[in-house]
């Protein structure tokens, strides 16, 4: 028996259809997390399951989602970082608690609508994660922190498919009209993420240029992220961007676009999908955010367990709190969380 994590979107719904075509016994599994309109989404998923003629089971993970994902999200912003809740949610919730619930309900594994591939490598006795065949939809970045135990019990029916093919076939089936084309990436946010902090007080502070000149006041560091240009509330005659957030001094550091480029970064909480991938030093392609084109780099594992990433070509808008993911061609090796730069390195005087 296979549980299919249904979101109400076309991808997970079509993944369920593909498993049925193979003769698998399946049931739909919907997780209550923190969706803005859960009743509407439950109704949509019920209609999908009725269309597919499969049972639906609903599990309430709202408390755990609040503790493990939303609390993480808010904590990172309070620290002057830019979080990636989807990576944490996949590790902690979807392939963590939801997979556990699926097994309790009699499933041997959990299938999702991710565009990724999984293979078993007999040489290193590891389950390996590969990019999806659709380069425009590949979601391997979001699964880089999964464990071997989680990968073992995961199924990805859409790994060989392209998005346009999924939509075309879903339309033919009559399934597309029941689904939403895309699931919302940050499912607990409806509108501006800053509304999550509406009841909290954040002290304003100085806006300072990389030359050390104070040019204005910010409204609280939580409201800014590296690379941001709009919404700074200042006019300096040319475009200025957020270069860094100095949490210790409560300063927003801005500068011309050229200061966004960084030759290196430091990672904490480094994780490898397979133990055999871990080496003291190795060459890799590194992606520093979901839509970033991977860049060649050398990765050195430090005695502290952190990783130093040195790019062959400087990269723009390296954002503390986001995750850098290591690739070897199509293979996902692992990754870690980007640490902040010491602010004193950024001020020029």
- CB burial class (10 A; 0-12, 13-18, 19+) of residue 149? exposed
133 in active site: no
Q: How far apart are CA 43 and CA 33, in angstroms?
A: 15
Q: Is the dihedral of CA 164, 169, 170, 171 positive or negative?
A: positive
- CB burial class (10 A; 0-12, 13-18, 19+) of residue 219? middle
If we measure between CA atoms, which residue out of 287, 11, 8 comes closest to residue 163? 11
**Residue among 86, 89, 126, 274 flagged as catalytic:** 89
Q: What is the DSSP string of 168-211?
A: HHHHHHT-GGGSBSS--SSTT-SS-GGGGGTTS----EEEEETT
**Residue among 86, 126, 187, 274 flagged as catalytic:** 187
What dihedral angle (degrees, nearest 10) is formed by the CA atoms of 105, 109, 112, 116?
170
Q: How far apart are CA 200 and CA 62, in angstroms?
A: 22
Q: How far apart are CA 266 and CA 76, in angstroms?
A: 17
109 in active site: no
φ/ψ of residue 219, rounded to 5: -100, 15
φ/ψ of residue 316, rounded to 5: -95, 140
Q: Where are the alpha helices (DSSP H) in 66-132?
A: 71-78, 85-89, 98-104
* Residues designated catalytic: 89, 187
């Amino acid at each position: 028996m296979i549980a299919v994590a249904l979101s109400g979107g076309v991808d997970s719904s079509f993944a369920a259809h593909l498993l049925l075509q193979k003769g698998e016994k399946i049931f739909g599994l919907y997780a209550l997390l923190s969706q803005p309109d859960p009743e509407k989404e439950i109704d949509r998923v019920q209609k999908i399951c009725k269309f597919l003629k499969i049972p639906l089971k609903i599990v309430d993970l709202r408390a755990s989602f609040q503790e493990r994902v939303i609390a993480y999200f808010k904590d990172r912003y309070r620290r002057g970082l830019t979080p990636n809740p989807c990576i944490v949610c996949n590790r902690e919730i979807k392939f963590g608690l939801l997979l556990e619930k699926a097994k309790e309900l009699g499933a041997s594994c959990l299938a999702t609508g991710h565009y990724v591939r999984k293979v078993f490598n007999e040489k290193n006795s590891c389950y390996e994660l590969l990019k999806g065949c659709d380069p425009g939809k590949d979601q391997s970045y979001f699964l880089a922190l999964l464990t071997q135990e989680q990968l073992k019990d995961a199924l990805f029916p859409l790994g060989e498919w392209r998005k346009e093919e999924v939509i075309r076939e879903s339309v033919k089936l009559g399934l597309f009209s029941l689904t939403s084309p895309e699931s919302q990436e940050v499912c607990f946010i409806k509108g501006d993420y800053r509304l999550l902090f509406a009841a909290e007080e954040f002290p304003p502070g100085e806006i300072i240029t990389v030359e050390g000149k104070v040019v204005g006041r910010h409204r609280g560091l939580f409201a800014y992220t590296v690379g941001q240009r709009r919404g700074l509330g200042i006019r300096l005659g040319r475009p200025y961007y957020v270069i860094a957030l100095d949490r210790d001094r409560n300063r927003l550091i801005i500068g011309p676009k050229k200061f966004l480029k960084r030759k290196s970064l430091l990672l904490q909480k480094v994780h490898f999908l397979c133990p055999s991938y871990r080496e003291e030093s190795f060459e890799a392609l590194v992606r520093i955010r979901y839509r970033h084109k991977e860049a060649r780099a050398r990765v050195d594992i430090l005695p502290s367990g952190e990783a130093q990433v040195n790019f062959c070509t400087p990269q723009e808008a390296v954002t503390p709190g986001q995750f850098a993911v290591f690739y070897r061609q199509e293979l996902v090796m692992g990754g870690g969380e980007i640490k902040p730069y010491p602010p004193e390195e950024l001020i020029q005087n």
